[in-house]
Structure 1
């Protein structure tokens, strides 16, 4: 069986695949119910398994989650067919290969458009969702922040893997597809003195997350620091915190998150909500309370291992920390007292133990928590 070699860029990686010649489908796809259902059987007769096994092996080696695996499939198919994302053959082939990978997928269609929908239990925002039975399906063809989200589509009466596994958008570790790091100097005020840190961060994370579906807000708190930031920022801060009490250490870290970055609301900068992981603060020129909280949360976990809770007001995110002898405005959660350590303001201040000004009488919810050292 003859094969063709196809190469394409996937973030910082060059991917090479061997594609069986008989895998390629050259006819035009008809947007009709019976034709689309029959096409699945046609694809099953083609030598897809070699290509799929290769893609799965690459996904494992690169530590891709489900979302990135789907992107790898789609970009590989774009390279095979020399067509952009959204073309019917690319979307149908993505649907087929995800089904053969064991996911519960559904296909929606209208006019000349096909959309791939995956069963997921994740909390998602600003992405088209459909319900079929008691399962929720997310549209992974059009992604997030799509135009005409209310435009209706036909649901193909076909379920290749009706008991297939759920598709996850969450990342526990960063994938091995981002190699490049960049230097940056950051300056901040601590007790009237200017402090300087020279760090390296991974700009590829910002590109990876630029079109990523918005997931549960607490995930951005739990997202790990990149290896570059962990190796450059954390050791410098650890040295600067040496000999400090827990309170002094928390004061130093809030001074950093409050004054090292320029504040602007997401709506003003991006025109929409844009939660960031810690590395993104060093990529973008502006950040807001959610972003400072993500960085502060990650630094306290890495450096102090103190218990924390994430406090969400209607229009503000803050952090409270539990530490021996720490006093100030506090919240009691599951029997533990947590003192406010707002990572956003007041700017150029290192004072902790105060409810954010203007929020003293506002209601809030606890988005998540970190328990500190395991016992």
Structure 2
């Protein structure tokens, strides 16, 4: 029997391997397609079941009064009359806005609905029919694309909610607010967010549970959980009717916390110059991010404390501050940063500046003309954590907010013990006061610790 030529033998083995590889690839593709089809069938059945559930009579809930956030700062800016130890107080030149051009990149959007969505009515059966109709469209590619954009740009959940709201505004007629609510509920539920719609009189509202308290927002208490009310019109005080359970595939509450690396379109940057004899800051803020924060409900202070600064602010502000504290001891550096926050910003209460309470995220301190005690405390805490890598907490007094910093050395002055560690009071609103100096009126006042 003749032996196969080695080259022919190798070709036979190679051909067999290729055929086996193709077979495995085909099996994998077939398996993936089967899995996708099974999941699509599963979602279809869930949507059908939910559509039937929506037809059942809805339950009426009393609108709960909003939880009011107490106004923190006093109208008059507090001042420590002695000179700041080691730093000479100086006048801060007037801040001037100047726009900085920055081209934006167009974002590709998947097409979904070709015609404006029109809700036939707001009865249970009409809303159930709308859900059924929307679930029969090719919405899945749009949801995948939208969630991928959220992931790539590190959007927080509230940014995604606003994105869906803007989409609903485009997909519905301008005055058709009820249709917009249904579009938002459908897309957010398909994105696995736990939301509902509610009916109050002749208008629909969106009901959103969140992972923290929202202040000055009406809400429904459903099974001991707060569903905050969002709508397009002025709320009446009639009962709000809604269905008894959430969509089974939507289990996530909307988180109000900001993610690191969040990226927004930078069509317009605004630059402000802060200058004194020690430090000159050219702070850039992203107008798109500022617009997002304008639409942010009032949250627990921990949301603002834990929020990162944007890339624009970090790159424009931190280098100058790093240079100012280079070669200093930790205490000296913390004092320089404290004095900067005390003196580089005009002081106004939220009522004076806006007419309502508006806690700032870090970037907003560098955009608006003035800030108050809670805003300065959040900013100082960010600078201490970022530049000195020290632990810092907020001190929430009945009418004021300050900070306390845990130093690696024993520093004399006003302090409090937290978890067995000494935290020195540093008050960014007590002008010219140094480390370990609390306002006299607050020395014996208990404060809530915010981490």
TM-score bin (small chain): 0.7 to 0.9
CA change 1:240–1:205 in 2 (3 A) is same
> 1:171 aligns to what SS in structure 2?
coil
1:329 to 409, 414, 428: 414
Structure 1 position 162, deviation (Å): 7.3
Q: Which has the larger radius of gyration?
A: 2
> 1:18 aligns to what SS in structure 2?
coil
Separation in structure 2 between the aligned mates of residue 364 and residue 97 of structure 1, nearest angstrom = 42
1:119 counterpart = 2:212: no
1:18 maps to which residue? 110
2:379 maps to which residue? 295
1:139 counterpart = 2:229: yes
CA change 1:28–1:120 in 2 (3 A) is closer
Separation in structure 2 between the aligned mates of residue 309 and residue 32 of structure 1, nearest angstrom = 50
Counterpart contact for 2:269–2:286, Cα < 8 Å: yes
Q: Where do 5+ consecutive residues of structure 1 fail to align?
A: 1-11, 369-375
Counterpart contact for 1:312–1:364, Cα < 8 Å: yes
> 2:273 aligns to what SS in structure 1?
strand
Higher mean C-alpha deviation, range 35-44 or range 227-236 = 35-44
Structure 1 position 72, deviation (Å): 1.4
1:367 maps to which residue? 450
Counterpart contact for 1:339–1:353, Cα < 8 Å: yes
Q: Which has the higher contact order (CA 8 A, sep 6+)?
A: 2
Deviations 1:14-33 (A, max 9, x none): 44433245x64654421212
1:108 maps to which residue? 198
- Correspondence 1:349-368 to 2 at 5 A: 349=432, 351-368=434-451
CA change 1:235–1:18 in 2 (3 A) is closer
Separation in structure 1 between the aligned mates of residue 401 and residue 128 of structure 2, nearest angstrom = 47
1:47 counterpart = 2:138: yes
Separation in structure 1 between the aligned mates of residue 374 and residue 118 of structure 2, nearest angstrom = 49
1:187 maps to which residue? 275
Separation in structure 2 between the aligned mates of residue 96 and residue 116 of structure 1, nearest angstrom = 11
CA change 1:158–1:83 in 2 (3 A) is farther
CA change 1:148–1:40 in 2 (3 A) is closer
- Correspondence 1:22-101 to 2 at 5 A: 24=115, 26-83=117-174, 87-101=177-191
> 2:185 aligns to what SS in structure 1?
helix
Structure 1 position 202, deviation (Å): 2.8
Counterpart contact for 1:91–1:116, Cα < 8 Å: yes
- Correspondence 1:145-294 to 2 at 5 A: 147-148=234-235, 150-157=237-244, 159-161=246-248, 164-179=251-266, 180-188=268-276, 193=277, 195-294=279-378
CA change 1:149–1:205 in 2 (3 A) is farther
Separation in structure 1 between the aligned mates of residue 187 and residue 374 of structure 2, nearest angstrom = 37
More helix by share: 2
Higher mean C-alpha deviation, range 274-283 or range 49-58 = 49-58
CA change 1:45–1:158 in 2 (3 A) is farther
- Correspondence 1:295-314 to 2 at 5 A: 295-314=379-398
Deviations 1:96-141 (A, max 9, x none): 1111222222210133321121233322212222222243322344
Counterpart contact for 2:197–2:204, Cα < 8 Å: yes
Q: Where do 5+ consecutive residues of structure 2 fail to align?
A: 1-103
Counterpart contact for 1:62–1:177, Cα < 8 Å: yes
> 2:111 aligns to what SS in structure 1?
strand
TM-score (norm 1): 0.84
